């Protein structure tokens, strides 16, 4: 099964944003952001796009699957 890797924490730190802040902006709970950052949760396409929009980047830059 492919492994999800993310630059979410890197972007969040770069933008000086807390997990709670990001969660509020994209309409999820803080726990969802924690799980995303740890690669324990695969985001829906809508959530991935919403997060990418917050950071003015692409979904592909934020999330990558590796075999």
| CATH 1.10.260.40 describes domain 3-58 | yes
Neighbouring CB atoms inside 10 A of 34's CB total 14
Indicate the Cα dihedral angle 49, 50, 55, 56, nearest 10°: 60
In tens, the pLDDT along 9-67 reads: 999 999 999 999 999 999 999 999 999 999 888 899 999 999 999 999 999 999 988 87
Does the predicted model carry a pTM greater than 0.85?
Answer: yes
């Amino acid at each position: 099964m492919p492994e999800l890797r993310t630059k979410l924490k890197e972007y969040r730190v770069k933008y000086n944003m807390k997990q709670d802040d990001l969660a509020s902006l994209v309409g999820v709970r803080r726990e969802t952001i924690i799980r995303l950052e740890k690669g324990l949760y695969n985001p829906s396409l809508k959530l991935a796009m919403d997060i990418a929009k917050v950071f003015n980047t692409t979904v592909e830059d934020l999330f990558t699957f590796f075999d």
